Every structure is written in C-alpha cells, then in structure tokens.
A and B are shown apart, each in its own frame.
Chain A
Amino acid sequence: EAGVTQFPSHSVIEKGQTVTLRCDPISGHDNLYWYRRVMGKEIKFLLHFVKESKQDESGMPNNRFLAERTGGTYSTLKVQPAELEDSGVYFCASSQGTTVNEKLFFGSGTQLSVL
C-alpha cells in the first residue's frame, strides 16, 4: 500500500515568488493534515481537512497560505508571495479516523527554501 506522498521533495524559490506543495494521502483516508517545521523549532500544526472541508485551520500563519483539497483526495498548499520566514519542512499526514487509536501517517516532507 502506498504511503503519504509529497511533491516536490525540495523547492528553492526567491522571496516574492509563489510555490505550491502537493500531498497525496493514503487512499481512503478522509483526514489530511499539514504541519510545518521551521529550522530549529517545533513541528507546528497548520490545518486539518476532513474530506474536502477545513475542520481546523487555526495554525495557518497568515493569508499568504492557501490550502485546498478539492474532491477530498489530494491537497495543495500554496504560499503566495513567499517570504524568507516561510522556509522550513512542510509535512503532510493522513488518517482514517480521528480517535486516539487511529494511526497518523506522515509523508517525508517538502523542504522549502526561500532566498
């Protein structure tokens, strides 16, 4: 069974440009999450989708970030325009349910560098 897939694995862009990250969750997983790890800091929650609906977007840093999950399958996270402080590793995760016994599956992340 395929795991959570993220694309690209690395992205280097200049300040002011736009970048779109993609996440393909495990097939059948209704719950999809985005997390971010800024260098030297904790992994922080960004938002949670249930199917195509945003359940919780309390962690989104500002309106330069836009997440979508059209059709309830894959998700994209767009940063426009990118700033230097957006650099970090963006992780996607998925789960079938949301109880404590449900396992959360993570992708290997997208390393974003904004120069």
Chain B
Amino acid sequence: GDSVTQMEGPVTLSEEAFLTINCTYTATGYPSLFWYVQYPGEGLQLLLKATKADDKGSNKGFEATYRKETTSFHLEKGSVQVSDSAVYFCALRSPGGYQKVTFGIGTKLQVIP
C-alpha cells in the first residue's frame, strides 16, 4: 500500500537558517504529493503541492520538487523565521483516491531567535 516516510524530528534551527525536511514515498502509479503544516492550536493547512514528476511546489518561501526517480519530495526553505515553527506533514494521494490522503509521521520544527 501507499506510505510516506519523513524525518521525525524535532528539528531545532536558529532564525535565518536553511531548512530541509526529507520525505520519501511508496505508491503505485503517479500520486500527487503535498506538504501540510499545522501551526500551534490550528488545523492542518495545505502548504504546497505537486501533481506530476519534476513539478516544483512553492509557497511562503518553501519549495519541494517531485522527484520520481528517487520517490522523494523534500521540503526546503532558505531562511526560516520564528513564525515557521509548526509541525510539517508530507503526504500523497494516489490517482482516483478521492481525497484519501496518506500522511507521514510529521516533523516538528522549532525556530529560535
């Protein structure tokens, strides 16, 4: 079945540091890939997505590229801010899977001033 593997964290970075959160997946066919973010006390929000190989999703300075050859979708940001502190979930949805999303374990990011 489908699965998503991501680093568990927590990850602690200083403000303005470079962020990478690794994500790899297993799925049949060509899934759509997502990064969701959960800020403290809030629900999950879609951060970015990519629907086909070599697509790059980007939002709020975050980027991730759909790499079919390595089955990866790593999240990056060049300079993190304290306000980026949250839990980040890598996820996928297989074709025809309605909105049945498969999530990774979530990576907690803490950015310190």
Segment of B17-25, B43-51, B66-74 engaged in the interface with chain A: B43-51
Q: Are A104 and B101 within 8 A (Cβ)?
A: yes
Given contacts A42-B4, A42-B104, contact A107 B43 (CB under 8 A): yes
Q: Are B51 and A109 within 8 A (Cβ)?
A: no
Segment of A14-22, A68-76, A79-87, A93-101 engaged in the interface with chain B: A93-101
Q: How far is the CB of B90 from chain A (nearest CB, A)?
A: 10
Specify which of A44, A48, A107 is in contact with B99 (CB 8 Å cutoff): A48
Q: Are B51 and A100 within 8 A (Cβ)?
A: yes
Q: Are B43 and A42 within 8 A (Cβ)?
A: no
Interface residues of B in 1-57 (CB under 8 A from A): 4, 32, 36, 41-46, 51
Interface residues of B (CB under 8 A from A): 4, 32, 36, 41-46, 51, 89, 93, 98-106
